Chains A and B, each alone.
Chain A
């Protein structure tokens, strides 16, 4: 009888493990199309503000989506094609509206106000893990029009271009710009997706590429040169990163007594419990490692999307 119960237990455990392994999915990056700065500037969708005496121009995305019909055509076409490939995109226009609605709700709902630090406010922008920068220009040669079209996929955290497609469409006497743009999307989106697929394949093989920063609070008496068992704290952190990255891949780009910067850090897509993970999940391990004895360093972990995280040493 006891044997049967044990067998049942083992079977149940096996089933749970099997389901976990078979259906575990990596965290899906969000993708959003954004009109490029050069396109916004060329088409007069910039706004100026005075940054401590220096005039700074930034794109006015709200105006773009309210006034330009062609951009709606292009984004909607790319969105449709990407959704067909099982990768629906985040819509920038809707993201901006949601942010505005949330701000209004925060202001209205609570009498005492919703808690919001300056960092929270700074982070309240329409964002995605992969940004597709969209640029086009209409060219006219004699009576013929053509469209020069560029799509650039940028990883938001590593700032690397992970996919791109560009080219000039066939000149036409009669076709409207929207038709030429639609043709350009059809001509380029497959090549763009092929490169995106290559990027994802590389991610599954070599891990997700992230950026890790280590900083210290001003009030903390220690620094990254503090010795533990004859080793600098920076070396101890570097060793932890080396042991926990895929194939030990990372670059130590910058080390001072106050900060460290690790780039091209390849982290596994799943943690030890086979759950999908990201930069924050990965650095939780380092956070606990530093917080516990023998180091006992209180620290704060902040994140930026799937691919960037910061540990600030000295306070919680």
Chain B
């Protein structure tokens, strides 16, 4: 009986987590996140702060990495404090997300290739002022570092974006 109960708890918690994750992915696809410059990163990287929304705080933190890559590729980001500039998205084609849907589906799936280009810069520590409750959801701001040069090179190699010298 105890074993059955433990199994039930495990399955239901996994289902709830999975539901929250699915909602977070849907929010990413619907551009429900904010991204801004958080400082000048080291050579080849962007340092960005991503605000993600979820009913579960932990999901919002995990989703921040996915949102950061999504933002750098498709959205670009706004300026932060003085000296922290806005950047344009890596792609210049606004329809690329739908045109290359198959590529991006596997790219952004759980544990997908996007993980290769992003790391949390604060080791998962969130500033208390960056954790807010908005209605029933959490809005959490996480600072992440995106290896934009590596990301750009891989997207160029996959034929998703054009290189600066293509055609010459």
Residues of A near any B CB (own CB < 8 A): 25-29, 84-87, 146, 167-171, 183, 186-188, 190-191, 193-194, 196-198, 200-201, 204
**Known A167-B83, A183-B40, A186-B43; contact A86-B165, beta-carbon cutoff 8 A:** yes
Please tell me the size bucket of the interface on B.
Answer: 20 to 34
Counted as pairs of residues, one from A and one from B, with CB atoms less than 8 Å apart, the total is 63
> In whole angstroms, how far apart are the Cα atoms of A27 and B167 in the complex?
9
Contacting pair B83 A86 (CB below 8 A): no
Bitwise interface map of B from 25 to 37 toward A, beta carbon under 8 Å scored 1, else 0:
0000000000000
Closest chain A CB from B68 CB (angstroms): 16
Is B88 an interface position by the 8 A CB rule?
yes
Contacting pair B164 A193 (CB below 8 A): yes
With a 10 A CB-CB cut-off, give which of A28, A29, A183, A187 has the most chain B CB atoms: A187
Which of B85, B86, B168 is the one whose CB lies under 8 Å from A26?
B168
**Known A190-B88, A198-B92; contact A26-B167, beta-carbon cutoff 8 A:** yes
Contacting pair A186 B88 (CB below 8 A): no
Q: Which residue of B lies closest to A197 (CB)?
A: B164
Contacting pair A201 B82 (CB below 8 A): no
> In whole angstroms, how far apart are the Cα atoms of A191 and B85 in the complex?
9
Closest chain A CB from B113 CB (angstroms): 21
**Known A186-B43, A190-B88, A197-B162; contact A27-B83, beta-carbon cutoff 8 A:** no
With a 10 A CB-CB cut-off, give which of A169, A171, A198 has the most chain B CB atoms: A169
Residues of B near any A CB (own CB < 8 A): 40-41, 43, 81-88, 92, 148-149, 162-165, 167-168
**Known A186-B40, A187-B40, A201-B92; contact A196-B85, beta-carbon cutoff 8 A:** no
Closest chain A CB from B49 CB (angstroms): 15
26 contacts between A and B (CB under 8 A): A25-B167, A25-B168, A26-B168, A28-B165, A28-B168, A85-B163, A87-B164, A87-B165, A170-B40, A170-B81, A171-B82, A171-B83, A183-B40, A183-B83, A186-B41, A187-B40, A187-B85, A190-B87, A190-B88, A191-B85, A193-B164, A196-B164, A197-B92, A198-B92, A200-B167, A204-B167
Contacting pair B162 A168 (CB below 8 A): no
Closest chain A CB from B103 CB (angstroms): 20
